[in-house]
Structure 1
């Protein structure tokens, strides 16, 4: 029979082996590809004093406490680092975060372009109130699950291409307060589940025909270069903003029925701004953001 001492020694060795095994697992808990992507992102950002726990090498986002990072098992599912005063740029390797569903880097000072490689299974992306330039990446249609996209209050410009083709999951889109120009993309017409669209304070031109058949509950196209008749379909949109800051509703329309007014009025959406510039949210925009928060709770 095994002596009491030998049994004690064996028990000690088993406990020691389990501790070593647990430590080994914890030290490399996060998926290695996720770790590499997060290290790349950390290396490209600056002013990172509020990113407590983050490391440029040797870190473990899911096994340690990284500010704004949430996981399911060994996979990163959410990055929420809004309003931390971050600068720098975004990594092009975000597409490696296969389990990420929520990305919020809003209200920082991040510059550069929106990378073409975004998390492929993202549901929520908020990059608002940064210093991003360039255009919306044409790879966007690959995000088949995306419901919310906000890139407002940046310095994005150029003509928006057909970057929204077959994005049937998209429900809320905010590209307001940028420098976009040209006609609206025809791919807007394919956003069959979109209910909130914010295009105000850009330099869009021509008509709004591509969005007339969308089932919208919120639409803001103020302060652009649109021209033409207000489509009859707009009269059923509960929250509609179409006038520029310099325009007022004619007195004879204030008491008219909404439908009659929209059928008869010709509106030139000529912008009152000679150049596009960055504007911080005002009262109306803050109300819009609060409304979006309510909408997000319903997603």
Structure 2
């Protein structure tokens, strides 16, 4: 009988999965080396090869991702970011008494987040815990409060649910808190205002509701406030203006309403203000003239009204300006041409009237071809392996990508009249020019041929007359050209870039146009000898994928592979019924099909 029982025990041991040592076994392990080996054994067997250097014969100082303190013979840092690990996460950080830095980001670790054991070791030295981009589920446990020394906590891009736990506001040393891209619900706890050392707070892309608590105004060290893509309602609390160090405030894609508080104009350090996709009313208050450091202002997709805000005039550092899809009216101010760094001017779908100011042809950055410059104020992208790793926040990644988007001037869907200023041809660095759906008249200026980087030129649904200038055939990057529904006449150019255009819809609604593309012969005259008249053109009705390829032609080749990482934030400009809409993935913005 004894032999039979022994045989059963042996067979049971053989059947025990080598790749999933039970957690209660690891909880009994002691010593840093044993604890680390036990953590390895809890991982799925197929991923344990990534930690092949972790073995009984080697010293942990030579193991992958380990920084070892030779004096105390204990582990100080554990960096396993992007190691390809999968399996149920066991909180080894709770068992290592000298551990200061633990980074498990960008793996496929799963299970419920737990801090079992932290209450016994107090985890008094752990300052950085990064679990970004894994497959963790369940709620954030209250026991997180036991890691009192934490300065950096990133639980973003997981599948966490439930509310933001009360235990968080015991972590009074926190400087950076990232909970973005989960499924957290409930309200934003006012008690977060206790975390007065916070510099970065990102709760974007969750299901948070209710109002923005005014207690966030106690966070006087806060530099980045990212609450985008939730279900927040109510007004923007004026107490936010107490956060005078704020450099980035992203509240887009919520249900915020009311007028924008004039107190926001006191945030003189603000570089990024993104309020797009809410229900805000009124106009930008005059106090916004104090935002002289602002580089990105996006208030599109709201219900703002009145004339173009004079407060923008003093924002000399602006690079990105969007007031699209509001109810603004009156003329476009000529002083917009004074901005030396502006590269994205998005005014479409308002009620602006009058002529296009020729001063827009003086936008300095758009006049002179230049390579995109890395701007730390618009970047937010840092190595996640640094001592103070970045949160990988979506809004920050998006801000970085703005530097590399095609340069844009979009004045479509207004009530603009008069002629197209020839001065726009001075914008040699402009890549996308949208003037469609207005009441523009007169000829297409031949000077547009001097805007040599143009990829996209949309002039449809106006009252333009005359011929299509043959000089436009010299635009070798031009991929999308639409002049439908105007009063143009004469031959459609066929040489150079125009020989690649074959979409008849891009020329429809111009009875006087002729050429082989329209199957309508032209009468040969003296003018035709210098302007080839037989071939075709590509319109703007192209599906999104084809369009993205066309845009890529106009960008630096290798970079676009990087931009695929933030594909949800890539701006898609289609035509006619597809409009420019910016959103966040969390920090993400994008054009929306209408």
- For Structure 1 versus Structure 2, the TM-score category normalised by the shorter chain is 0.5 to 0.7
SS at 2:174's partner residue?
Answer: strand
Residue number among 22, 27, 30 corresponding to 2:122 in the alignment: 27
| Structure 2 residue 355 is matched with structure 1 residue 257 | no
Deviations 1:116-142 (A, max 9, x none): 111221111110000000011110111
Could you say what secondary structure the match of 1:152 adopts? coil
User: Is the alpha carbon distance of 1:199 and 1:132 closer, same or farther for their aligned partners in structure 2, counting shifts above 3 Å?
Assistant: same
Aligned twin of 1:193: 293
Give runs of aligned pairs for residues 221-260 of structure 1, distance below 5 A. Answer: 221-235=323-337, 236=339, 237-244=342-349, 246-247=413-414, 252-253=419-420, 256-257=423-424
C-alpha separation between the residues in 1 aligned to 2:201 and 2:195?
11
Once the two structures are TM-superposed, the CA of residue 187 in structure 1 deviates from its matched residue by: 2.0
Aligned to 2:408: none
Is 1:174 the counterpart of 2:269? The answer is: no
Conservation of the 8 A alpha-carbon contact between 2:253 and 2:584: no
- 2:137 aligned to which of 50, 54, 57: 50
Distance verdict in 2 for CA 1:187–1:26, change over 3 Å: farther
Aligned residue pairs total 235
Aligned to 2:320: 218
The answer (yes or no) to whether the contact 2:283–2:306 under 8 Å persists in 1 is: yes
Once residues 104 and 92 of structure 1 are traced to their aligned partners in structure 2, the CA distance between those partners, rounded to angstroms, is 15
The corresponding residue for 1:6 is: none
Considering only aligned residues, what root-mean-square deviation do their CA atoms show, in Å? 3.8
Q: Residues 198-213 of structure 1 correspond to what in structure 2 (within 5 A)?
A: 198-207=298-307, 208-213=309-314
Unmatched segments (≥5 aa) in structure 2: 1-96, 99-117, 126-135, 157-167, 350-411, 428-437, 440-567, 573-579, 589-594
Deviations 1:240-298 (A, max 9, x none): 110116449779427542799xxxxxx99xxxxxxxxxxx97844787769x89xxxxx
Quote the Cα distance in structure 1 between the aligned partners of 2:153 and 2:272.
29
Q: Pick closer, same or farther for the CA change 1:164–1:287 going to 2, 3 Å.
A: closer
- Other structure's SS at 2:328 match: strand
More displaced, 75-84 or 242-251?
242-251
Given candidates 155, 167, 188, the residue that maps to 1:68 is 155
Residues 1:58 and 1:173: Cα distance change in structure 2 (over 3 Å): closer
Partners of 1:68 and 1:221 in 2: how far apart?
A: 33
Higher relative contact order (CA 8 A, sep 6+): 1
Paired residue secondary structure (2:193): helix
Q: How far apart are the structure 1 equivalents of 2:206 and 2:583?
A: 19
Q: Distance in 1 between the 2:300 and 2:205 partners?
A: 19
Q: 1:98 aligns with which of 174, 183, 196?
A: 196
Distance apart, 1:29 and its partner CA: 3.7
Q: 1:101, 1:123 within 8 Å by CA — same for their partners in 2? A: yes
User: Any conservation in 1 of the 2:153–2:174 contact (CA below 8 Å)?
Assistant: no
Which runs of 5 or more structure 1 residues have no equivalent in the other structure? 1-20, 31-48, 261-266, 269-279, 294-299
Q: Distance between the aligned counterparts of 1:67 and 1:250, measured in 2?
A: 51
Note the C-alpha offset of 1:154: 0.3
TM-score with structure 1 setting the length = 0.66
Match of 1:161 among 222, 244, 261: 261
TM-score (norm 2): 0.35
Distance 1:58 1:226, change over 3 A: closer
Stretch moving more, 280-289 or 154-163: 280-289
Task: Identify if the C-alpha distance between structure 1 residues 209 and 125 changes in structure 2 by more than 3 Å, giving closer, same or farther.
Answer: same
Measured in 2, the distance between the counterparts of 1:251 and 1:137 equals 42
State the distance in 2 between where 1:108 and 1:220 align.
25
